[in-house]
Amino acid sequence: MNTTTPTSAQRTWDELNARQRLYLSTIFEFDQAAETDIKRRSAKRMSVPPAAEWRQVTYDIDLPKKAAGYSSVQLAVRQRGEHDPGSGATLAALRRRKLITVTYDQVHVPPIGMVDRTRVRLTTAGRAAARHGAGHTAPATPPAGLMTRWSLLALARLYAAGEHGLCNETTPDRADEAPSWNTLLRLRDRRDGSLIDTFVADWPDQHRRMLRQHRVRASALGRRHFEIHRACYLELFGDLADELPDADPAEGAHTGLADHRRPRPKHLVRDTDLRVLLALAELQDTGRCYLREELTRDFQHWDDEVPGWVTEIPDGLTRWQVKNLTRTEKSIDRLTAHPGGPLITQVEVYASAHNWQAGITTPMVVLTDTGRTHLRDHLADYHRANPELPFPPER
């Protein structure tokens, strides 16, 4: 059960007394400041610690306050009219409600040595309650297929940079610096294909000398994603209007998030199942099969004649390839049991060039004639529902 919905967060906040709200809100402010700093460092390609560490907020160091002063959290609480007596009970109450975790450890303070330290960290429920108390709306959750705010900003910069892209190396020109590598990996490793292209080009440095430079730009798929969904992102993240460049008109471009809420027509298969059908159709059109090609290379490597059973392996995908494509094997069962007839079938083939005589086989997923007919008859409907996916040409 999700305990961080707005209703749950509001109920939790309402149950707190004024002192507990003050402490939770103050911790939240330092949590958000740390998050902002981490994002800034990540954008500059600086190393960052794991969230379990940087979200820890130092509440107290066990030293005389007249000598060492108060922690930032304690000072903020005092400036708002609350003082330390009873703070232990307040933290304990927040911890019992599972709004914070409290860690007791030691830290070295020269020249004194090791002293006791108390650190606090907001839980997900605690952050939601504090966000509600501050009047902030919860971070918008993008519909399936859309990106997070951080990834969107990175793609928008690459889109605006055009074919020349941005520098994927350390550069003094901040305007030409690409997003962090971690962010680029999220754009690269999308299920439907990479939204970026990396390339090497001659580029002038600050002294106008031409140097070979690694650069990155939005791929054709990335540009199409931005053009199709720009209106959706503006609705989702309205405060980013000034940071999203204008997009070229695109066929099938969405007008807003309502396009993501339209029910799928009953005669169309799920998006994940469609990806399998499209991949199988492309393999048939190009006469490709990964397993067949691997087995052929294995036999040729040992200067052995390629057996006939290898060349007879049909164009298709192994089950693990389907799972990599859809993150589940359930698509195979659904497509096999399609009401209009099986859209795919499975064929047992030998799995190894070395011990095939032992009879070890693996199932190969293949598009049926019914599956190809289904794609052909409903191609226009699928294209309207999924304008980003690579569709085969109509025949």
Residue 136 clears pLDDT 60, i.e. is over it: yes
Residues 39 and 157 in one domain: no
Residue 332 clears pLDDT 80, i.e. is over it: yes
Residues 226 and 311 in one domain: no
Q: What is the pLDDT of residue 163?
A: 95
Residues 256 and 275 in one domain: no
What average pLDDT score do residues 153-163 get? 95
- For residues 344 and 209, which has the higher predicted lDDT (pLDDT)? 344
The last residue of one of the domains, among 260, 281, 305, is 260
Angle at 122 between CA 120 and CA 127, to 5 degrees: 155
The string over 322-342, giving b where at least 16 C-beta atoms fall within 10 Å of a residue's C-beta and e elsewhere, is: beebbeeeebbebbeebeeee
Residue 68 clears pLDDT 80, i.e. is over it: no
Q: Does some domain include residue 142?
A: no
Domains identified in the chain, total number = 3
Enter the DSSP assignment of 163: G
Residues 286 and 370 in one domain: yes
Q: Does some domain include residue 391?
A: no
Q: Does some domain include residue 393?
A: no
Torsion (CA) 285, 334, 331, 321 in degrees, nearest 10: -50
Residue 299 clears pLDDT 70, i.e. is over it: yes
Q: Does some domain include residue 138?
A: no
The last residue of one of the domains, among 235, 260, 285, is 260
CATH of the domain at 378: 1.10.10
Q: Does some domain include residue 358?
A: yes
- State pLDDT tens for residues 266-281: 899 998 899 999 999 9
Residues 305 and 192 in one domain: no
Supply φ then ψ for residue 174, to 5 degrees.
-65, -30
Q: Which of 149, 134, 348 lies closest to 238, judged by CA?
A: 149
Residues 46 and 160 in one domain: no
Query: Which pTM value belongs to this model?
Result: 0.58
Q: Does some domain include residue 1?
A: no
- State pLDDT tens for residues 169-194: 877 778 888 988 888 998 998 877 89
Taking CA atoms, 240 is separated from 183, 224, 260, 332, 334, in Å, by 18, 19, 20, 40, 40
Q: Does some domain include residue 143?
A: no
Q: What is the pLDDT of residue 35?
A: 81
Residues 374 and 300 in one domain: yes
Residues 308 and 205 in one domain: no
Q: What is the pLDDT of residue 36?
A: 77
Residues 33 and 107 in one domain: yes
Residues 307 and 327 in one domain: yes
Domain that includes residue 219, residue range: 149-260
Residues 129 and 10 in one domain: yes
- State pLDDT tens for residues 231-256: 999 988 887 888 999 998 788 888 88
Percent of the chain with pLDDT over 70: 90
Cis peptide before 6 (omega within 30 of 0): no
The last residue of one of the domains, among 217, 238, 260, is 260
Residues 237 and 282 in one domain: no
Q: Does some domain include residue 308?
A: yes
- State pLDDT tens for residues 340-359: 999 999 999 988 877 777 78
Q: What is the pLDDT of residue 182?
A: 83
Find the largest Cα–Cα distance for the chain: 87
Q: What is the mean pLDDT of the chain?
A: 86
